[in-house]
Structure 1
Amino acid sequence: MSHFSKFILALSALIIIAQFSFDSDLGNEAVSIRIAHGLDVQHPVHKSLEFMDERLKTISDGKMSLTIFPSGQLGSEREIIELIQIGTLGMTKVSASSLEAFVPEMKIFSLPYLFNDHQHYWDVLTSPIGQSLLDSGVEYRVKGLGYFDAGSRSFYTTHKKVEAPSDLNGLKIRVMNSQSAVDMVNTIGGAATPVSWGELYTALQQGIVQGAENNPPSFYYSKHYEVSKYYLLDEHTSIPDVIVVGTHLWDSLSAQEQVWLKQAMDEATDYQRKVWMESTEMSLAKVKEAGVTVMKADKAIFQDSVTSLYDSITSESIKRLVADIKQMGER
């Protein structure tokens, strides 16, 4: 994206933001919280945010609501987080990976094959470990309000079938702009190539990258299945989405308003987990109908390929988190 395009995007975002005001200290006036994300309006995350808005209105008797900006209208995940940090946006939905640059502890979710299964994953998210991770961004002016399910990420490729780590050799695989994601794909055997989500379809189509990795709903709703004909369900990482609220906004809410917002978040999480499961099943069925070869991976050989990532961890806090999470999986 050119500097001029970025300027226009930023200017447009500020114009949009200026049309809405946050009125938490204006007595009886309603609080309208602006929340932005990068996904399509048909995506289960967007539908769950719409559900959260409706529940917030009901719980607060119309005193609070959300104004949702989908599809990257206000910029990339990193740009949106920065808007929250400077206080011009209230909330967002971002991948935990996108928070790594702001909240180092979030790197834990980018470690491959950390969770035994989906139940282990949610046991951790709903435990004191999960809550401490949500709170760890407060010093960076971002507070995690709750988690949304983002399933498990798996590899998809345009022309070459991948069934083992060695099949990734020589393939440029798109990853998020996350050093942990880069390290993981490089360790497994691919050539990790950061590409923005909005540019990925074209990058796959033109052969700039030969593959990517993501969950089934994102693979389907992005239409990447149109240019990627192989999908290997190796489920290497389970990286949750995080609903983030700026500390400037959270601290300005009354205690009652905080309770209402948290209740709406909790109800939206339950709703989103159900919708996500249904969407995952539907997405896999749809891409198969479209001619995509969907394969189950032999996870053992992929797990063996990433042991060096765990051996190379130097952060004592990350080591403790790994140990605590592994211990939870043994119960």
Structure 2
Amino acid sequence: MRLEKLLRVTALAGTLVALAGASAIAADWRGWNIHPEGYPNTVALEQFAKDVAEKTDGRVTPTVYNGGVLGSQPDAIEQTRNGALDFANFNLGPMGPIVPATNVLSLPFLFTGVDQMHKVMDGEIGQRFSDAMAEQGLVALAWYDSGSRSFYNTRQPIQTPADLAGMKVRVMNNDLYVQMIDQLGGNATPMAYGEVYQSLKTGVIDGAENNYPSFESSNHYEVAKFYSITDHLIIPECVCIAKASWDKLSPEDQEIVRQAAIDSATLQRKLWEERSVASRQKVEESGVKVNEVQDKKAFQEKMAPVYAAFIKANPDLEEWITAIQSTN
């Protein structure tokens, strides 16, 4: 009788330990996203969260907080690095101050097109960037598309660099973008994204630069009626996991999370292409004058000092530039 009781107590203790272990492993993840509901990145990131929750049987339950409600991107990067946030979709443009190697991706006219960017980032070169980010507490699992960026403004079409002379242009907070605008004769104005609409409307700035979906979804097209296609920047985005959160996962769950991120990137790229077409149509129908820059070489040649200064300051990254430019 005493032995039977002992066995029951032992079994109960084992059950409690197992339940406690399961509770410790379960994780409610918080994810940052700057984009609104329905945006390609938002749809893809929410699909990522759903897949992870289902395929880990609830061991990891991610929730995406959209619209930048958890802070600006610089704030979110720091929160993800220190584990206050578990995952995010980041543009690599503002990543440079934290991961200097990613500044390579912000060099103007680095890529010949979006397809080449995908090939670069999905291969060995992309893994280099992922490794550099992991050293700073960010595990990049997949790469999203953010299209190509072009100029828009409230004053006139841009056909040559001279058309930018004296124009106050909002840029993301990265010195390379400031240099780019300076070389084109404009006045670069780093500014938070949420301030751009009102600044365009009131004349604090004359223009900005971005892709069609962002130009449209932010309603900037309502106040900036000239969009000039320069395709001067093609900057990838990442699905990034906090290293602290990643390291807590079992190898099995790490693989599930990784595959969910890759699947979400496939979805995001498809939705991005569709949204780009729809966004262009919408802004043109609203009266925005869209022009294709005929001589992009004139803009590219202005970037020679930007490249020279970058390589002088980062000689170890020159080979990365060469590897990207030689990828066909």
Aligned partner of residue 326 in structure 2, secondary structure: helix
Conserved 8 A contact 1:134-1:146: no
Aligned partner of residue 89 in structure 1, secondary structure: coil
Deviation digits for residues 241-274 of structure 1 (CA, Å, limit 9, x no counterpart): 1122111111111111100100100100000000
Conserved 8 A contact 1:100-1:107: yes
Residue matched to 2:12: none
Residue 90, structure 1, aligned to residue 89, structure 2? no
Quote the Cα distance in structure 2 between the aligned partners of 1:304 and 1:25: 60
Residue 304, structure 1, aligned to residue 301, structure 2? yes
Conserved 8 A contact 2:157-2:291: no
How does 1:189-200 map onto structure 2 within 5 Å? 189-200=185-196
- Aligned-pair CA distance for 1:92: 1.3
Residue 323, structure 1, aligned to residue 319, structure 2? no
- Aligned-pair CA distance for 1:189: 2.0
Report the identity percentage.
34
Residue 226, structure 1, aligned to residue 222, structure 2? yes
Larger Rg: 2
> Which of 148, 153, 161 matches 1:152?
148
Residue matched to 1:261: 257
Instruction: Return the letter of the residue paired with 1:328.
Output: T
Deviates more, 1:226-235 or 1:315-324: 315-324
Aligned partner of residue 135 in structure 2, secondary structure: helix
Residue matched to 1:127: 123
Instruction: Return the letter of the residue paired with 1:215.
Output: N
Structure 1 residues 25 and 217, CA gap change in structure 2 (3 angstroms): farther
Deviates more, 1:195-204 or 1:136-145: 136-145
- Aligned-pair CA distance for 1:28: 7.8
Q: Under a length normalisation based on structure 1, what TM-score does the superposition of the two structures give?
A: 0.89
Quote the Cα distance in structure 2 between the aligned partners of 1:45 and 1:234: 23
Deviates more, 1:282-291 or 1:318-327: 318-327
Residue 215, structure 1, aligned to residue 211, structure 2? yes
Deviates more, 1:235-244 or 1:49-58: 49-58
Quote the Cα distance in structure 2 between the aligned partners of 1:51 and 1:304: 42
Residue 239, structure 1, aligned to residue 238, structure 2? no
Q: Under a length normalisation based on structure 2, what TM-score does the superposition of the two structures give?
A: 0.90
Unaligned runs of 5+ in 1: 1-23
Deviates more, 1:277-286 or 1:80-89: 80-89
Instruction: Return the letter of the residue paired with 1:326.
Output: Q
Residue 78, structure 1, aligned to residue 74, structure 2? yes
CA RMSD of aligned residues (A): 1.7
Unaligned runs of 5+ in 2: 1-19
Residue matched to 2:113: 117
Instruction: Return the letter of the residue paired with 1:301.
Output: A
